[in-house]
Amino acid sequence: MPKILNIETATDICSVCLSQDGKIVSLEESNKGFNHASTLTILIEKCLAKANITLIDIDAVAVSQGPGSYTGLRIGVSVAKGICYALDKPMIAIDTLQALAWACANEEQKDVHYCAMIDARRMEVYSSMYNLNNDETETVSAIIIDENSFESFFSKEGTVIFCGNGAEKCKPILTSPYAQFSPIICSAKHLRHLSKKSFLEGDFCATAYFNPLYYKSPNITIPKKIL
């Protein structure tokens, strides 16, 4: 049964989960903000120590590929690549929104729409829609949320359960009785089902050429001293 190291750095949560056959063996997380560069490798070390194994013992590394924080994604993917190169392990890329939707549907077990949202600043979110079987029904897009968002679903009396760190800020605006909200946010433990599936299907990345799915350019400004 595959032992997979799952890495999630798409948001302000830095998270590492060791899974075996899709089950959680150990989990380490930090919610202290965007300090992933100094935290991620420490969390990996702690996670493996809990399970009493080393990196040599794992079968693959799975990493959340985005959308999400530009810097966070780069750090997660860079560390995953480093491990895979050094130890000749396969690398698996997991869609961040799909993993969120899977976790939400797995908990709710309702035949409704599952909308995963990642905060993209102000009232913008990265969003995609899935059904109970984790099939994508609306493709990933960056959208600005207003009172008319998702009206096509609500008007058909279709319940939508929103999850992810972008969902909380949308609560005051999405007031339809068909809008429900889940507390589920990004965590490496949510990658385990999809990473197991990818491993068994041999769905691996070309490690040398893989890049995160940013969907938008980084939010870079020119320092005032230069202007």
Cβ partners under 8 Å of residue 101, min gap 6: 114, 115, 116, 128, 129, 130, 134, 163
Does the pLDDT value for residue 216 go beyond 90?
A: no
Task: Pick left, alpha or beta for residue 41 (phi over 0 → left; psi -120 to 50 → alpha; otherwise beta).
Answer: alpha
pLDDT-derived band at 224 (thresholds 50, 70, 90) equals low
Report pTM: 0.92
Length of the chain: 227
The domains located in the chain, with CATH, are 3-95+186-201 (3.30.420.40), 97-181 (3.30.420.200)
Does the pLDDT value for residue 166 go beyond 70?
A: yes
The string of pLDDT tens digits covering residues 178-197 is: 999 999 999 999 999 999 99
pLDDT-derived band at 220 (thresholds 50, 70, 90) equals very low
The string of pLDDT tens digits covering residues 93-144 is: 999 999 999 999 999 999 999 999 999 988 899 999 999 999 999 999 999 9
Token readout for 104 is 């939400």
The string of pLDDT tens digits covering residues 23-36 is: 999 999 998 878 89
